[in-house]
Structure 1
Amino acid sequence: MDINLVVFIAATFLLAGFVKGVIGLGLPTIAIGILGVAMAPAQAAALLAVPNIVTNGWQIARGPGLAGIIRRLWPMLAGICIGIFAGAGLLEQQKNGGATLWLGLALIAYALIGLKAARLHVPTRFEPWLAPLVGLATGVATAATGVFVLPAVPYMQALGLDKDELVQALGLSFLVSTLALSVGLIGMGTLDWRIGAWSLLALAPALAGMAAGTALRGRISASAFKLCFFAGLLALGAYLVWRSLG
């Protein structure tokens, strides 16, 4: 890689890490969208492997109660893995950005609903059968786009978790998605030791950005966090649409 590309990648991960620190998500969405200017989506997803694993591990470790989150979310997490493996190769085949366009439009719609204070709620009795379906759909969407957001994020937000629980749940979901997607990328030959080395180097700016964003999140109220959360989703969705049409 030449120096200009290295600086471009570092700046991308710094920005993406900051957004993730503030609202608990956005690292792969922003990074794949921006890096798509210089490389294929599958290559960008491979470059994200180490930063995704480490930043989501950090996000999980800072949460209030991992055991309870795992017990509640494991059916969804299992569905994510199945969906990613079932959709293996879709990211490599993506050429026209169609999957990314629909993902962006769905994010915009969900963010607008949230900003208008329309509260989504999943009754506890629905979770045993709904969680695996949400996970399966999220896995297939991840396999096609490299982004881990829909429909898992709206589902987790509708569970009634508080700010810190939601951020921890997001980290757990994204970590499982990253590990499953990385296995698929290794199988396709897209993620090898050379890309792994560059992915390790991308970790430093991602962590720096996330540290700054996490510090900011600690200073804002629950209502301000909710506003930032949905505004962030709206911006991410608009960016994905712009990138797919550009």
Structure 2
Amino acid sequence: MGSTELTIAVLGLFLAGALKGATGIGYSTCALPFLVASVGLQRAMALVIVPAIVSNFSLMMNGGGTGAALRRFWRFYIAIIPGIALGTGLLAGADHGVAVQLLGILTLTYATIAIARPGLAIGPIGERILALPAGFANGVLTGFTGSQIMPLMPYMMALRLSASEQVQAINLAVTLTSLALGGALLIAGIVDWNILVLSALGALPAIIGVEAGSCVRRRLSTQRFRQFSLVMLGLLGLGLMVQSNHRLADCSVTPRSGIGQSAPECPKTASQHASR
């Protein structure tokens, strides 16, 4: 990773922490759209692992109710693991542009649901029935795109949990998911230990960002700033969709051979990125 990429990555990790501290939006959700354009999806997925764990761990430990969340949602959490294994397996052989396009769709969907807050509702029977498929789907999407919040967020919203219960359940899910994702990316050969070391170092700008965001939150209208941040995230997601769609469309057309003409730079698979 060159000095320019490293600088952009540090800035992205800091800004994601600031958004999380100011609004409470998930760290990975904020960080990935910033990082993907500069360092690529696979590196971005790895870079956010340790900062995401660190930014959630203190909230998880200080908030209480960890045991209750584990007892209630253990099916959801367990199902995430095989889902991540499948998702990273798909990512290893997929075009980079396809995964980025799906990340954009998930980011835009998350922002839309978070702003609209539709009146979703799931009863106790539905909660148990949907826990395994929802957790598995969450793992597949996490392994393929790095996005950890879908369908986790709407599932938890539909259960009508208290604010503290919802925050604890989501923070615990993100922490467990981040740990599983790091292991799966290593096993699949998509990233190496060097990137994870950089991820550990990236926890520092993330923590500084969270503290800075917390200071901002005390001075601004949190709700308005959150709405603004969600709109910006939605636009970033839309931008990822459009950019990756254009690249995929360019690569689907066979370039003409001729003097001065060159083929478009097409997305590579994760295994091709890892071999570079």
Match of 2:237 among 240, 243, 246: 240
Residue 95 of structure 1: how far off its partner (Å) = 2.7
Give the letter aligned to residue 233 of structure 2.
L
SS at match of 2:63: coil
- TM-score normalised to structure 1 length: 0.84
Distance in 1 (CA, whole Å) between partners of 2:177 and 2:54 is 13
Aligned partners of 1:84 and 1:142 also within 8 Å: yes
Match of 1:142 in 2: 142
Q: Distance in 1 between matches of 2:207 and 2:127?
A: 33
Q: Deviations over 1:37-68 (max 9, x none)?
A: 23231122122222122222123123232111
Distance 1:38 1:104 in 2: 15
Which amino acid in the other structure matches residue 69 of structure 2?
I
Q: Alpha-carbon deviation of 1:117?
A: 5.1
Number of residue-to-residue matches in the alignment = 243
The answer as to whether partners of 1:42 and 1:92 remain within 8 angstroms in 2 is no
Structure 1 position 133 matched with structure 2 position 133: yes
Per the alignment, residue 205 of structure 2 pairs with 205
Q: Once structures 1 and 2 are overlaid, which stretch shifts more, 106-115 or 185-194?
A: 106-115
> Could you tell me which amino acid in structure 1 is paired with residue 29 of structure 2?
T
Preserved CA contact (<8 Å) 2:21 2:213: yes
Aligned positions of 1:25-40 closer than 5 A: 25-40=25-40
Contact 1:101 1:244 in 2 (8 A): yes
Q: 1:216 and 1:70, CA in 2 relative to 1: closer, same or farther beyond 3 A?
A: farther
Structure 1 residue 44 and structure 2 residue 41: aligned?
Answer: no
Q: Secondary structure at the match of 2:84?
A: helix
Whole-angstrom distance in 2 between the partners of 1:169 and 1:215: 25
Structure 1 contact 23–228 (Cα < 8 Å) conserved: yes
1:1-246 matches, within 5 Å, as 1-105=1-105, 107-109=107-109, 111-112=111-112, 115-116=115-116, 118-214=118-214, 232-246=229-243
Give the gaps of 5 or more residues in structure 2.
244-276
RMSD: 2.7
- Taking only the aligned residue pairs, the percentage that are identical comes to 34
Measured after TM superposition, the shift of residue 99 of structure 1 is 4.0
Alignment deviations for residues 70-124 of structure 1 (CA, whole Å, 9 cap, x no partner): 2222111111112111223333344353344345445545644554453212212
Q: CA deviation at 1:244?
A: 3.0
Gaps spanning 5+ residues in structure 1: where?
none
Q: 1:188 to 1:103 in 2, by over 3 A?
A: closer
Structure with greater contact order relative to length (CA < 8 Å, sep ≥ 6): 1
Task: After superposing the two structures, state which structure 1 stretch, 65-74 or 2-11, moved more.
Answer: 2-11
In the superposition, relative to structure 1, how do residues 157 and 7 fare at CA in structure 2: closer, same or farther (>3 Å)?
A: same
CA distance 1:219–1:155, shift in 2 (3 Å):
farther
The equivalent of 2:273 in structure 1 is none
The residue type paired with residue 47 of structure 1 is: L
Which structure would you say has the larger Rg?
2
1:141–1:148 CA contact under 8 A, matched in 2: yes
Contact 1:100 1:145 in 2 (8 A): yes
